[in-house]
Structure 1
Amino acid sequence: MAYDTFLKIGAEVEVTSPDHTLRGTLFPAKIVGKGSVDTKFLVEYTTLEAQNDDGERLREEVELVLLRPLPPRERNYAFSFGDNVDAFFGGGWWEGAITEILDGSKKFGVYFRFAKQQFEFGKSCLRLHREWVKGNWVPPLLEKNVSVTEEAKARTRSKLHEGTRVEVCSDEDGLQGAWFAATIVKVVGKDTFLVQYETLKTEDETEFLTEEADRKNMRPYPPEAVKGFKLNDKVDALYNDGWWEGVICKVLRGGRYRVYFEGTGDYMNFDPSELRPHQDWIDETWVMSSQL
């Protein structure tokens, strides 16, 4: 599907919330009109009500970069431990990981990194997590009753050993969503590692910070990608010792770029050396983000 084919009046879409307290949440909606500027659309949410007593659905203008089409759903998909999923509650889809299989695979424990908690869901409230990348869904629709294989998971485990360079996503307030470069110092347990950061230091600033990190908050260090940015490209920006996901909203004079961070609603200017193309670690593969 080409990227712009779903941007029509009446099209069903999902909207990424720009509210930092709801970061990453996807809400189903329908496009009901054009926005006040070319980069915005008027949407009506399917599950959210307006703040009045009429019971009307919430309508608001949203940026193009926050829209994507409805993802496909597999039939008879066999969820398994470690699968990245979206769970539906509170009117939206929230990204998490299956950490427990319950009641003969009728229920699943899903851990949400943003909340640092696990909740139980029935199968009907779960779907495989997907990213909208260059007009295609990643991973693609699985036609058979399959899930991530144990062999694939074993390959991931084998990549994480002493001396491996990784990136770690922090759960601390104010740092959520940022990735920090580190090196595995020691394998503590099956899913726990002692890492030393490359940029974060101890409180007394005398040495680089060393702490335990959980596998679900880690990924391999991304490979170098060809640089060259344009308007609406998704990028990672180096700020406060970590990489933060944003979108180029303006190309400035002198080769600099203005970046919008939807997680916080902030705008900042960066040199090209402080940016890299945004990539997602999906199904054991680095995937370049869509160029919106």
Structure 2
Amino acid sequence: MPRKPKPKPKSKPTIPPIPPHLKAGKQVEISSDDPGYRGSWYAGTVIRRVSSKDPNKFVVQYTSLFKDEEGKKPLREVLDAVNLRPPAPKEKARKFRFSEKVDAFYNDGWWEGVITEDLGKGRFLVYFRPTKEQIEFGEKELRLHREWVDGVWKPPLEEEDDNTSKGMTSDKGLAEEIKLDSNQSMSEKKLESNNLLTEEKLKSNNSRTGEKFSEGMRVEVRSDEDGFKGAWFAATIVEALGRDKYIIQYESLRTEDDKDFLKEEADAVQIRPYPPETVVDHYKLLEEVDALYNDGWWVGVISKVLPNSRYKVYFQTTSEELVFDHSQLRLHQDWIDGKWVVASQALKL
């Protein structure tokens, strides 16, 4: 009688190699997905990969964040590789310009913002989109904003720093080097509960700016729902409810039964005027754009210019790259102090 065939041995799963910047002992910058801290980067060190079964997760230890009030026990976390990158480079004696995207050093971390005013003597006002707030910083507290894409920094380093080969100056050292202007009160620099990006701060800032929208006005509304955070959708103001709340009706989002366009209540902090149309013949590499996707506009950066007026766009929030036609893109603009500012046109402005 025929013999029963022997089972074939199971092949061992292939374990991806550890990227050079994530080997044990390497200094890294760590991003957080915790509410209120999205978009910030903190210095740390890679301790180890979690396991071969979870090859994309790493144990990291923060340099300046601690789990005890005495500051003796550095905080450790298990994070995905997408939340880790090498220390960002920093030019020596950089000349910052109006409307340039920068990272501002605050409470031991780097936060993304846009320069809105050169105050002179090496000091600048920086605008933070989520809070609609401007805060003053010295040039030593700023660096050009860069993205870590496919193992390289974009845009590349313009001027090699003496410390580049050893990594950027440690954030702890930078914190000691920074001196606050004696005429500037701590209340101007601090944000509530060591948290720069809080919904409460969003609401209070909007109240101060006094942004008002009238019935019938065409606007854009920012979504705060999971999976749609940061996207802007065209809508119309239907009714003002008072206390900075409005009923809006979307132009492209429909009700579940698909019988009408969706109406909902929105806070003023989620609303801005509809951006003016900009005419662009072609987009350039690393230019900041809004991409039309799933009926909303998403902020991204041109990562590759393709033939036939097509572009590859990189999205920082998801670390994804998608291809778009020219007609699906527009120049990214920020609504700052009652006017539209195009970061990519800083030199023209």
Q: Deviations over 1:172-227 (max 9, x none)?
A: 698984223559xxxxxxxxxxxx954485549xxxxx951568xxx644389xxx
- Which whole-Å CA distance do the structure 2 matches of 1:169 and 1:28 have between them? 34
- Which whole-Å CA distance do the structure 1 matches of 2:18 and 2:115 have between them? 30
1:122-161 superposed matches below 5 A: 122-143=138-159
Structure 1-normalised TM-score? 0.57
Is the alpha carbon distance of 1:174 and 1:90 closer, same or farther for their aligned partners in structure 2, counting shifts above 3 Å?
farther
Counterpart AA for 1:140: P
Deviates more, 1:27-36 or 1:174-183: 174-183
The residue that corresponds to 1:7 in the other structure is: 22
Counterpart AA for 1:93: W
Q: CA deviation at 1:170?
A: 2.6
Q: Which is strand-richer, 1 or 2? A: 1
- Which whole-Å CA distance do the structure 1 matches of 2:155 and 2:45 have between them? 24
1:1-292 superposed matches below 5 A: 4-36=19-51, 37-51=54-68, 53=70, 55-104=72-121, 106-143=122-159, 170=222, 177-180=229-232, 182=234, 198-199=252-253, 202-203=263-264, 212-213=273-274, 220-222=289-291, 238=294, 242=296, 279-281=300-302, 287-288=313-314
The residue that corresponds to 1:272 in the other structure is: none
The residue that corresponds to 2:256 in the other structure is: none
Is the alpha carbon distance of 1:121 and 1:279 closer, same or farther for their aligned partners in structure 2, counting shifts above 3 Å?
closer
Is the alpha carbon distance of 1:77 and 1:109 closer, same or farther for their aligned partners in structure 2, counting shifts above 3 Å?
same
Which ranges of structure 1 fall in alignment gaps of 5 or more residues? 145-167, 184-195, 205-209, 225-237, 245-277
Identity %: 36
Which protein shows a greater Rg?
2
Secondary structure of the residue aligned to 2:92 is coil
Is the alpha carbon distance of 1:220 and 1:31 closer, same or farther for their aligned partners in structure 2, counting shifts above 3 Å?
closer
Is the alpha carbon distance of 1:39 and 1:203 closer, same or farther for their aligned partners in structure 2, counting shifts above 3 Å?
closer
Is the alpha carbon distance of 1:211 and 1:67 closer, same or farther for their aligned partners in structure 2, counting shifts above 3 Å?
closer
Q: CA deviation at 1:30?
A: 0.6
* Paired residues of 2:48 and 2:58 also in contact (CA < 8 A): yes
* Paired residues of 1:15 and 1:26 also in contact (CA < 8 A): yes
Q: CA deviation at 1:34?
A: 2.1
- Which whole-Å CA distance do the structure 1 matches of 2:18 and 2:114 have between them? 27
Counterpart AA for 2:92: R
* Paired residues of 1:86 and 1:93 also in contact (CA < 8 A): yes
- Which whole-Å CA distance do the structure 1 matches of 2:124 and 2:252 have between them? 36
- Which whole-Å CA distance do the structure 2 matches of 1:40 and 1:18 have between them? 15
- Which whole-Å CA distance do the structure 2 matches of 1:42 and 1:213 have between them? 44
Structure 2-normalised TM-score? 0.48
> RCO higher in 1 or 2 (8 Å CA, sep ≥ 6)?
1
Secondary structure of the residue aligned to 1:6 is helix
Q: CA deviation at 1:107?
A: 0.4
The residue that corresponds to 1:260 in the other structure is: none
Counterpart AA for 2:126: V
Aligned length: 200
Counterpart AA for 2:85: R
Q: CA deviation at 1:50?
A: 1.6
